[in-house]
């Protein structure tokens, strides 16, 4: 049986930490596509943020089902709450891409 120090050392296994970085990338790309979709569709105010919430939840469900096989606490240190958390960077990226595409597509409306 593993001691407490060995069990704690297994929680921070470098290959797993690198694999979790790809999850961050997937969530980032999802927020970029959601922002582009909101801008192209011309969503304004709360509808755009609702699309961001829906896309974040959809991405989290996909990662939970496909990558984590329904057990996110086994693969991600924060568990399901960390998986659903969009992060401040992703929220700002969504707003940036949303306003960019809205400005490009709807410049003459």
Q: Residues 30-48: pLDDT tens digits?
A: 999 999 999 999 999 999 9
What's the pTM?
A: 0.79
Select from 47, 16, 71, 80 the least CA-distant residue to 55. 47
User: Would the pLDDT of 2 be above 60?
Assistant: no
Which residues touch 33 (CB under 8 Å, ≥6 apart)?
55
109, two tokens: 């409306």
Instruction: Let me know: does 82 contact 76? Beta carbons within 8 Å.
Output: yes
* Average pLDDT along the chain: 85
State the CB neighbour count (10 A cutoff) for residue 30.
22
């Amino acid at each position: 049986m593993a001691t407490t120090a060995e069990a704690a050392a297994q929680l921070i296994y470098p290959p797993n930490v690198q694999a979790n970085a790809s999850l961050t990338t997937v969530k980032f790309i999802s927020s970029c596509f959601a922002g582009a979709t909101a801008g192209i569709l011309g969503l304004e105010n709360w509808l755009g943020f609702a699309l961001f919430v829906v896309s974040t939840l959809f991405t989290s469900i996909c990662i939970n089902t496909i990558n984590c096989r329904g057990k996110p606490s086994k693969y991600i240190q924060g568990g399901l709450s960390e998986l659903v958390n969009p992060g401040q960077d992703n929220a700002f990226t969504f707003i940036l891409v949303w306003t960019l595409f809205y400005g490009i597509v709807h410049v003459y409306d």
